Structure 1
């Protein structure tokens, strides 16, 4: 199927809201019941997924999403993006989406995977997480760095933030574990639990992390694992 002949319809109980989180008043777009029969996206991952090691420190495996999903985002989201993030349609340029399955156990995490991260330090894109899993698989949390007060990162902030990261890296007590809520270095400022067919969108320079519970079962099967569709909306 191609974007020219198919677009999945919206769920009949589609609803959305726009939250404002943290001291820096960052918008987060939350959509529940996004696409009708979203189980088809799960089925596509099972039947056609070609999962391989993730890129850019993603702690698991990833696979390309179907083209019709890209078309659905381009069809249904622009007006909501403009409302939530104070943009115009001409600012929006969509990029391909990726299926993602978290598989890396805590004992194998690199230090950057144990703390909140950003996808960019430039205001050039928005990030989307579309959950195709059950609530017990863990959602997504947003954070404030306690010492600096930073919730978003920028080129101007990286020198001082980097200095603190070097100091905090010497404390081994928080290595080799997924952050799941506040710790001594980061304060959780927003939390969104996984819910099947929920999509959240936020600026990519916002500190965030998947909230992986301690009893999480790392399973490569898309049906029972933490399957998400991760997308970036690039801004012109």
Structure 2
């Protein structure tokens, strides 16, 4: 049975949900991923992605519905925007500037992100951040211009080192983190500033049986 824990994080007290035992057959998912065809990811994801089994969301629907009702207070519909297996493969020295920083996925408060960890327990989780200069932990339509202008100026002056962000930095304060454990999911609003918490010694393999394998998904509350 899924085990759901809710948190309110940072000064903005945004809800996140941590769900252990998220999928009824994680070994079957890992086996499916091992045979899947991975391709370079779109957007800014530092790795590869592959298609999910057709029945993935049928299997996790009971847990998702509990989270949406009890953590996000949503009793309406939900639309799937994008979902895939993902594996982090980009070495630190090849990261773009954007990949070295926390990011947000959407400014719409009705957009929800899901990360379902399927790799080893030491392959890294997800961290959430506050931008020190603006104080923002979430980015909406009104905040986006000021945030991006300020961040771009900071990056021009002091670009981040070629590494995955770990903990707090001069520009960002880590306000919460979720450890990645096999068959754990974290669910949060896409507007939250966040980043994969990739350990310095993480195995950045394109083999899903060895690397940081997750399911990443984006949904819209309707």
Match in the other structure for 2:92:
106
Contact 2:130 2:172 (C-alpha < 8 Å) held by counterparts: yes
CA–CA distance in structure 2, aligned partners of residues 190 and 101 of structure 1: 23
- Match of 2:201, SS? coil
2:139 alignment partner, one of 153, 158, 170: 153
Select the residue among 11, 15, 20 that pairs with 2:3: 15
Q: How does 1:94-173 map to 2 (within 5 A)?
A: 94-172=80-158
Higher helix proportion, which one?
Answer: 1
Match of 2:46 among 36, 50, 59: 59
Written as runs of structure 1 = structure 2, the 5 A alignment for 1:198-209 is: 198-209=184-195
* Residue 179 of structure 1 pairs with residue 165 of structure 2: yes
Tell which structure's C-alpha radius of gyration is larger: 1
Moved more, 27-36 or 51-60: 27-36
Shift of 1:92: 2.0
Contact 1:78-1:92 within 8 A present in 2 as well: no
- Superposed displacement of residue 172, structure 1: 4.3
Quick one: which of 74, 79, 87 aligns to 1:93? 79
Shift of 1:53: 0.5
Whole-angstrom CA distance in 1 between matches of 2:105 and 2:163: 20
Give the structure-2-normalised TM-score.
0.95
RMSD: 1.4
Indicate if the aligned counterparts of 2:23 and 2:60 stay in contact, CA closer than 8 A.
no
TM-superposed CA distance for 1:168, in Å, is 1.2
TM-score (ref. length: structure 1): 0.90
- After superposition, give the CA deviation of every residue in 1:134-183 in whole Å (9 maximum; x if it has no partner): 12211100000011000000111112112211221124452321101110
Equivalent residue, structure 2, for 1:5: none
Aligned-residue offset at 1:96: 4.5
Question: Which secondary structure state, in structure 1, belongs to the residue aligned with residue 34 of structure 2?
Answer: helix
Could you tell me which of 169, 174, 180 is aligned with 1:194? Answer: 180
* Count of aligned positions: 222
Mark the runs of 5 or more structure 2 residues left unpaired by the alignment: none
Report SS of the residue matched to 1:80: helix
Match of 1:35 in 2: 23
